Structure 1
Amino acid sequence: MRIGIAGIAIESSTFSPHRTGLADFRVTRGDDLLARYAWTQDTTVEWVPLLHAVSLPGGAVLTEVYEQLKSEILERIAESSLDGLLLDIHGAMSVVGMLDAEADLAAAVRNAVGPNVMISAAMDLHGNVSRDFVQHLDLVTCYRMAPHEDAWETKKRAARNLVRQLQKGEKPHLAWVQIPVLLPGEKTSTRIEPARSLYGQIEKIEAMDGILDASIWVGYAWADEPRCQAAVVVTGDDAEVVQAQATRLANDYWRVRGDFEFVAPAGSLDHCIREGLASGVKPFFISDSGDNPTAGGAGDVSWTLRVLRAYKSRKIIYASIVDPQAVAIARDKSEVELSVGGKIDSGPSGPVPITGTVHKVHQDPVGGTIVVVRTGGLHVIITERRKPYHLVGDFTDLDLDPAEMDLTVVKIGYLEPELYNLAKGWLLALTPGGVDQDLLRLGHSRIERPLYPFDPDMPTPDLTAALLR
C-alpha cells in the first residue's frame, strides 16, 4: 500500500488582526516529513511524504500563502500513485476571503486523488467539521483530551484506521451531525465534567460491533464562520449502528450544553491579581486568556501589562509579549526605556512604556531572541516571535523560577500539563483580545443562528445524524 501524508495545520482567529504568512509555518517534505511520525517505520506500508505545514495558532492565513501550500500538495499528489492519503490538519484554519478553508482543501485533495483513494483525516477537537468538508473524507478522527495529551496517538489512530480499511478493501459508513453549540476550549476541558464523561463514552462506543471510530468536536469559538459549532462523526461497517451512535452522542452533548464551566475559577484581571497576591501560595498562575497565542491570539495585546505596572513592588513574571522592535532595542543594553506591545492588536490597549534593567537575553528556537526586562519586581518577557509558555524550562532558560514569584501571569487558557502540575494556585483572567473568552462581546456576525449560548432560549434542534456514506 502507498499512503501519502499531507496537511496544512493551524488554528486561526478571525478576531485577531494578525495575519499568518509563510514564515510562520514549519514546512516539511521528504524524510523530514516522515520523521514527524514514528509509525512510518511500518514496513507493510509505503508512506509517501507530500507536504506538511504547521504553524502556531494565529490570525487568518494570507490567501497567497494558502494557495501556494495547497498547490504544492496537489502537484505532489499528481506525481504519486496512491492507495490512501492521511490528511494531518488542525481543522480551524481560516484563510483571508474564505469561510471554510478545510472544505476547500479537502475538495481539492479529493479531486486530485480521485474517488477511489481513501482519505483519512486527523484533527484537533477544536476543529470545525462542516458537511462540505467531511463529505470528501472516508475516515476522520480527533483528539479526545483537552489539553491535547493524545495528539500523536490521534494521528496514529487515523493512520491505523486507514490501513485497516485499505486491507479490508472497502470504505466505511460515515454518520455526521453538527450541534448548534459553540463554546471556548477553556469551558470544555476533559479534565472536568461534562466533557470528561462525554469523551469517556467513546471507548465503549468503539468497542461495539460495527463501529470503527467515534469523535466529538467542540469546534472553534474565535472564528466568525458558519461552520463554527460542535460536531460528531461516527464511522464503521454497520450503517444503522453508526448513525444511531452519532445521533446519541450529539443529543448527549446538547443535553449538557448549560453545564460547561471554566476549567479554573475565572474573573476579571483585577480580581485575579488581588486573589493571587492574597493567597500567599507559590507558584500561583494567572491565565491572560484573551491573548493566548496557542488559541490564535496576536500575542502582543498589552492590556494586562499596563495593569501589572501598578504592582512593581511585588515579584511577578509576565509571560509574554511579542515585540521585535523592542527586542532589537533591548538586546544589547543593560538599562532600557521601551514602548512595548499593542502594535499588532492595538484594540484593547496600545503600546505600554516600561523602564528597567535587562535581566536576561536568550536565543530560543520558537521565540527567536528573547529579552527579560525587570522593572521593580515585575519581570517582563519580550519575544521576537510569538511563543507560548507551557513548560518549566521556558522559565528556567530565562533564569526565572515561578516558585519564587508572587504571581506568574501567562498568555494561555487552560494550563498545559507541566504548569498545571506545578501550580499551587491558578485563576483564569477574562481579558480582552482576539481569543476573548466572553464570546458575546466579540461580535460574531456570520455564524449560523440560532446557536447556543448566543441564543440561550433556542428550541431543541433535530440532531439525527446524516448518513453520508
Structure 2
Amino acid sequence: MSNETVLLGGFAHETNTFASGRTGRSLFQERREYFGEEISERMGGTNTCEGGAMEVAEKEGVDLRYTVSASATPSGVVASDAYDFYTGQILDGVEEHADELDGICLCLHGAMVPEGMDDGEGPLVAAVRERVGPDVPIAVTLDLHGNNTDQLVEEADVLVAYEEYPHTDMGDTGRRAMRYLTGTMRGEIDPTMAIERPPVLPFGPKQNTREGPMAEVMELAREYEERDGVVKVNVFPGFHQADVPSMGFSIPVVTDDDLDLAREISRELAAHVWERREDFVGDYPEPAEAVAEAQRLLDGLGEDAGPVVMADVGDNPGGGGAADGTTVLREMIDQGLTNAGFAIIRDPEVVDACVEAGVGERVTVDLGGKTDDKHGDPIADLDGYVKTITDGEFHNTGPMGTGSENHLGTGVHLQCGRDDGVSVIVTENRMQPLDAEIWRHVGIQPERLDVLTVKSTNHFRADYEPMSSEVIPINSIGQVPMDPRKYEFDRIRRPQFPLDEMDDGSYPDWE
C-alpha cells in the first residue's frame, strides 16, 4: 500500500470574451462550488474529472487532500475578485499541506480569461509551482476546448485533455491524469512536453469527435500513443469565442523524457490538421430553412421514428450564449410545428409571470430576446399555457457528466404555438440542455416528441442522438456562431484559416 499524498482541486470556466458582463462568484455557486471533503461527498462516483481522479487515487492507495471544485456555465470574463478567491483557495490548500504533498492534480479548463488577464490557468499553475518547487509533479486535466499558453505547458508536468466531444470521457480524463501523476511520483515516467499550433479554426459542429475530420485526427492521436515513449497526445481544436493571443488549435504532446519525440509527433499531427483544413469548414441551414427541413423530414418518417433534433448553435449557453435567443423558436411557432419542444429560454420575468399565474392557467408574455440585440427580438404577446412549474433541480442521467447536479432555478414548462403544440422550458438560470433529463424533470418524455430543439453545439449528441431520427445543426445568430469568421478578432495570432487567405499548400513554418 502506497502512502503518497496528492492535493486535488478544480477551477473551470470557458470564457466567451465577446459576451457581455462578468462572471462573478454567484454564477459559480449557481453551477458548482464545493469545498474540502464536500468534493468527495458530492462528486465521488460521478463522470467528472474529480470523480475519475478520486477513483484511481483510492485504487492506488493515494491519500487525497481537497481544496475547492468550482465551475460556472460559460459566460463573460471571470471577475477578478472571483478569480482571486478560487485561486486563493487552491493556493491556501497547497500551503497548508505543503510538507506532505507528493503531487498535485488540478481539474481546470484551458479557456479561462479573468478580468484584466489573457489566461487564467497558466498563472494559477505557475503560482502553485512557485510554492511547491520543481520536484512535486503537477497534473492538469483540461477541456478539449482549451486555448493553451506556453506558460501552462512549461509549468505543468502533464496536461491531459478530453478525447471526446461530446465530453463523455470526463471521468476517464481524471483517471488518466491521476495514473500519470502517480507514475511520475513513483519514478515510472519522466514527462516532457512540446506543443504545436496549426493555424486552423474549425467550425463548431466540425469539432465533433464522432465523425468527420476530428474523428480522424483523434484516431491518429491514439495511434501515436501506441509508440514507445509516448505518454499522451492531446488535441485541442480551441475555443474561438475568445479574443486572446493563445486562441486556436493546439497539440501538446507528452513523452517519457524525449523532447525530440514530443516535437516530432506534435508537428506531424499539426501538419495533418493543416492538410484537412477545408474539411473543418461546413455549410449549415439558418432557422427558417432548418425548421422547414425538420417538417419535410417528419412527413417522410414512420410513426415509430425518433424525434428530429435541431441544435440552436448560435445561442448555446455552453459556449457563453445568453440562452434567450428567439429566432429558432419563432420559426417553430410561425411554421406551425406541433408535438415539438424547445430548451431553453432563460427569462426570469416570464418565469415570475408563470409562477404568479399558476399551473393550469394561461399567460400572455413577451418571451426571450432581452439580453441584447444579438439574439433576436422578444416574441411579443405570446399566449401560453402553464403546464408545470419545478424547482429546476435534477441530476444528469445521460453519458455526459453522469450523476452531476443541475440547478436551473425555477423552471416552467410553457405550452404555446398552434394548438399549444410547442413546449418551451423557461428558466431562471442559463444552462446547456445537454442531458435529456431536463425534459423529464418538467414532465415531458422527449422520445415522444416529433421535434426537439436544444441550445447546444455538439454536447447534446451524447444523449439525444440515440433517440433521434435526424440531427440538424442550425446556423443561428447569437454569441456562439459556429463560423469563426463571424467574430471581429483584434488580438489573436494571424493568419488563421479560414479567417485569412493562405494560398501556400504547405504547412506554415512558424519557427
Range of TM-score over shorter length = over 0.9
Deviation at 1:462, TM superposition (A): 4.4
- State the distance in 1 between where 2:122 and 2:80 align: 15
- State the distance in 2 between where 1:433 and 1:89 align: 26
Deviation at 1:441, TM superposition (A): 1.9
Task: Decide which of 272, 284, 295 is 1:277's aligned counterpart.
Answer: 295
Counterpart secondary structure, 1:216 = coil
Aligned to 1:338: 365
- State the distance in 2 between where 1:429 and 1:190 align: 19
Task: Decide which of 55, 58, 81 is 2:72's aligned counterpart.
Answer: 55
Aligned to 1:79: 96
- State the distance in 2 between where 1:76 and 1:96 align: 24
Deviations 1:230-264 (A, max 9, x none): 111112223332222222111111111111255xx
1:308 aligns to 2:336 (yes or no): no
Aligned to 2:225: 206
- State the distance in 2 between where 1:58 and 1:293 align: 8
TM-score normalised according to structure 2 size: 0.86
Distance 1:43 1:32, change over 3 A: farther
Q: Letter of the aligned partner of 1:269 in structure 2?
A: P
Distance 1:463 1:166, change over 3 A: farther
1:44 aligns to 2:44 (yes or no): no
Counterpart secondary structure, 2:197 = strand
Larger mean CA deviation between 365-374 and 180-189 belongs to 180-189
Query: Would the aligned equivalents of 1:93 and 1:101 in 2 still touch at CA under 8 Å?
Result: yes
1:240 aligns to 2:246 (yes or no): no
Q: Letter of the aligned partner of 2:193 in structure 1?
A: L
Query: Would the aligned equivalents of 2:292 and 2:335 in 1 still touch at CA under 8 Å?
Result: no
| Structure 1 stretches lacking a partner, 5+ long | none
Aligned to 1:349: 376
Task: Decide which of 133, 136, 141 is 2:160's aligned counterpart.
Answer: 141
Task: Decide which of 384, 407, 410 is 1:369's aligned counterpart.
Answer: 410
Higher strand share: 1
- State the distance in 1 between where 2:312 and 2:434 align: 13
Q: Letter of the aligned partner of 2:363 in structure 1?
A: V
Query: Would the aligned equivalents of 1:290 and 1:434 in 2 still touch at CA under 8 Å?
Result: yes
1:445 aligns to 2:463 (yes or no): no
- State the distance in 2 between where 1:92 and 1:432 align: 22
Query: Would the aligned equivalents of 2:291 and 2:335 in 1 still touch at CA under 8 Å?
Result: no
Query: Would the aligned equivalents of 2:495 and 2:502 in 1 still touch at CA under 8 Å?
Result: no
1:436 aligns to 2:481 (yes or no): yes
Deviation at 1:403, TM superposition (A): 4.2
Larger mean CA deviation between 422-431 and 43-52 belongs to 43-52
Aligned to 1:360: 388
TM-score normalised according to structure 1 size: 0.93
Q: Letter of the aligned partner of 2:482 in structure 1?
A: Q
Deviations 1:105-139 (A, max 9, x none): 22222222222221111111111112122111111
Distance 1:118 1:464, change over 3 A: farther
- State the distance in 2 between where 1:379 and 1:78 align: 52
Aligned to 2:430: 386
- State the distance in 2 between where 1:228 and 1:184 align: 14
Query: Would the aligned equivalents of 2:16 and 2:77 in 1 still touch at CA under 8 Å?
Result: yes
Q: Letter of the aligned partner of 2:280 in structure 1?
A: F
- State the distance in 2 between where 1:223 and 1:318 align: 28
Query: Would the aligned equivalents of 2:392 and 2:411 in 1 still touch at CA under 8 Å?
Result: yes
> What is the correspondence of 1:22-171 to structure 2 with a 5 Å cutoff?
22-25=25-28, 26-34=32-40, 35=44, 36=51, 37-42=54-59, 44-81=61-98, 82-168=101-187, 171=190
The alignment of Structure 1 onto Structure 2 pairs a total of residues equal to 463
- Runs of 4+ in structure 1 over 4 Å off: 458-465
Counterpart secondary structure, 1:304 = helix
- State the distance in 1 between where 2:70 and 2:441 align: 28
Deviations 1:260-316 (A, max 9, x none): 255xx7211111100101112341111110011122212122333333331346332
Counterpart secondary structure, 1:277 = helix
Paired-residue identity, %:
29
- State the distance in 2 between where 1:19 and 1:301 align: 20
Aligned to 1:419: 464
Distance 1:244 1:322, change over 3 A: same
Distance 1:407 1:422, change over 3 A: same
Task: Decide which of 282, 286, 292 is 2:310's aligned counterpart.
Answer: 286
Aligned to 1:299: 323
Q: Letter of the aligned partner of 2:288 in structure 1?
A: D
